[in-house]
Structure 1
Amino acid sequence: MTVLRSYDEMLQAAAQAGPVPVVIAAAHEHEVLLAASEAQSRGIVRATLVGDKSAIQRMAREHRLDLAGMPIVDEPDHRAAANRAMEIVASGEARVAVKGQVQTPVFLHAALRREAGLRTERLVTHVGVFEVPGFDRLLFITDGGVVLFPTLEQKVEIVSNAIAVARGLGVSTPRVALLAAADEVLDELPVTVEIATIVALQERWQAEGAIVGGPFLLDTAVSPDIARARQRGGRVAGQAEVLVGPDVQSVNTMAKGITYFAGGRMAGLVVGARVPLVVGSRADPPRTRLVCIAAGALLAARTLAS
C-alpha cells in the first residue's frame, strides 16, 4: 500500500479505489454539492443526495454543477434528512455518510441512534487527517470532537481507532505519540502516568501494527531536530504520524492552531460506527470538503478490501 504524503496523493488513491457509494445528508449546500460533483467526476464516489430537492436543483443550475447520476431524495428537514441518509447506509446502498447542511450533533445522533443500526462495540471517536505546510507526511490527530474527557480505557480505544484510520490511509506501521505537557512521566502530571500505562500495552499495539510511545511534548513528537536535542530516542520521537491528545479541549485547540496559524487543512472523520462518517466543517472551502469525502471513501474502500 502506497504511503500517502499529501491530499493530492490521497485524491489519486481514492480515485483508483473508487467509486464508493456515499450518501450526503442535507445536501442542499453549495460547497458540499461542489465537492460531491467533483468527487463523482473523478471517480471517487457514486453519490446519493438527501435534502431539499428544489434547492439542490437550483444550486446546481446557478453554479453549473453536474449532478448527473446522483439520485436526489427529497427531504427538506435537516433532522429527517440525516435520519433518511442513515437508513440508506443501513440498507447497504452507501458505505460512507457525509454531513451536509446539518449541524454535527444532529448528524451524529442520526448515525448513532439505536434505530439506525450503525453502532458497533467500538468507541466512536474523531480523527482529523491534516496536511500541514512544511511536513513530508499527513498527520492524524485525535480526539478533537467526540470524547470530551476520556477515561484510561477510552484512551486505549482512541489510539486503536486512530491506528486503524492511519493504516487504512496508507501508513503501514503508524508511529503514535501520546501528548502531554512533559517528555517524561511525572507524578504531578497524572496524564503522563496514564500514558505510560497505555504505552506498556505493547502486545496490543504490535498486533494492531503500530508503534506507540510517550509521553511527548508536541514538538518532540514531530521534529527530529528537537527530539535529538532533548535526547529522546526510539522509533516514535520526532517521527510521529499519529498524535493523541489528553482531552478534547487540548486537541481541538491544537487543530484550530494548525489551521489558522500554520495554514494547515483538516479532513474530519468520525470512526467506530459501521461506516466512516465525514464531518467536515461548513466553513471549509470546497477543496477541503472534497478531501474529506475522498478520505472517507478511501477508508471505506480499503477497509472492505481488507
Structure 2
Amino acid sequence: MIQHLTDIVVEARKKGKKRLAVAYGQDSHTLEAVYNAYKEGLVEPTLFGEKAVIEQVCRENDIDINAFTIVDEKSDVKCVQLAVAAVVAGVADVLMKGLVSTDKYMRGILNKEAGLFPPKGVLSHVSVIEIPSYHKLITVSDVAVIPLPDFKQKQKQIGYL
C-alpha cells in the first residue's frame, strides 16, 4: 500500500520512463524538477521553450542540458500548443506546465479542436497530501474546479481512470 509520496516514485519507476512534454519549460524551478525526475529515471523530457533561455538557466543552475530535447519556441502560447499536440499525437505521455500562466495552459488543454479534453468531458483534478504526523496519504479532489459534482459528473470523472 502506498503510504508516502516517496512510495509513488517507487511505483512510477516500476512503470518505466514516461515521455514528458513541458510547456514553456524555461524557468529554474521547472528545469530543476524535470532534471531531478530525469535523474531518477522517471522521464525522458522534451522542453518547449526558448532554447537560449533554457541553456542560460541550465548553466546558472548546474543542470546538464543534454538531459533534454529542446523545441525552440519563443511564444508561451505556441509552446503550450506544441506540447499538447505532442501528447495528442502520442509522441509524449505526460504534459507538464512550465512558466506559462495557468489561463494560457488551460486554454491549450481545453481547446475543442486540438486539446486533450474529451467532448462533453468534466474537468477534474486531484491533490495528494502527505502529513508527517498522519499514517497515510490524503487524496483530495475537485476542491476548486467542481467542489460539488453531481452523480453524472462523478461517473464521467471515474471514467477517466
TM-score above 0.5: yes
Q: Deviations over 1:32-60 (max 9, x none)?
A: 10011111111101110001111110000
Q: Distance in 2 between matches of 1:86 and 1:125?
A: 18
Partner residue in 1 for 2:144: 145
- Please state how far the C-alpha of 1:158 moved relative to its aligned partner: 7.5
SS in 2 for 1:5: coil
Contact 2:131–2:137 under 8 Å retained in 1: yes
State whether structure 2 residue 4 is matched by structure 1 residue 9. no
2:99: which partner in 1? 101
What is the rounded CA distance, in whole Å, between the counterparts of 1:157 and 1:88 in structure 2? 28
Shift of 1:151: 4.8
Task: Tell me how far apart the structure 2 counterparts of residues 127 and 87 of structure 1 sit (CA, whole Å).
Answer: 23
Residue 34 of structure 1: aligned partner: 32
Q: Report the residue type matching 1:32 in the other structure.
A: T
Aligned to 1:136: 135
**2:65 corresponds to:** 67
Partners in 2 of 1:6 and 1:23 — Cα distance?
Answer: 26
Deviations 1:198-239 (A, max 9, x none): xxxxxxxxxxxxxxxxxxxxxxxxxxxxxxxxxxxxxxxxxx
Q: 1:155 to 1:119 in 2, by over 3 A?
A: closer
- Which ranges of 4 or more aligned residues in structure 1 deviate by more than 3 Å? none
Structure 2 Cα separation of the partners of residues 39 and 151 of structure 1 = 33
Q: 1:154 Cα shift?
A: 5.4
The answer as to whether partners of 2:48 and 2:82 remain within 8 angstroms in 1 is: yes
| 2:53 alignment counterpart | 55
Query: What is aligned with 1:83?
Result: 81
Secondary structure in structure 2 of the residue aligned to 1:43:
coil
Decide which moves more: 90-99 or 7-16. Answer: 7-16
- 1:25/1:50 contact within 8 Å kept: yes
Q: Of the two, which has the highest radius of gyration?
A: 1
Q: Give distance in 2, aligned partners of 1:39 and 1:20.
A: 10
Contact 1:82 1:107 in 2 (8 A): yes
TM-score, length-normalised on structure 2?
Answer: 0.89
Please, what is the CA RMSD of the aligned residues?
2.0
1:1-306 equivalences under 5 Å are 3-121=1-119, 122-147=121-146, 150-153=148-151, 156-157=154-155, 160=158, 272=160
**Amino acid in the other structure paired with 1:5:** Q
- Percent identity between matched residues is 26
**CA separation in 2, counterparts of 1:115 and 1:49?**
23
CA positional deviation for 1:69: 3.8
Does the aligned pair in 1 maintain the 2:108–2:115 contact within 8 Å?
no
Contact 1:123/1:157 (<8 A) preserved = no
Unaligned runs of 5+ in 1: 162-271, 273-302
Instruction: Answer yes or no: is the 8 Å Cα contact 1:16–1:44 preserved in 2.
Output: no
Query: Residue type of the partner of 1:109?
Result: R
CA distance in structure 2 between the partners assigned to 1:134 and 1:150 by the alignment: 29
Change (3 A) 1:137 1:97: same
SS in 1 for 2:22: strand
Structure 2 residue runs without a partner (length 5+): none
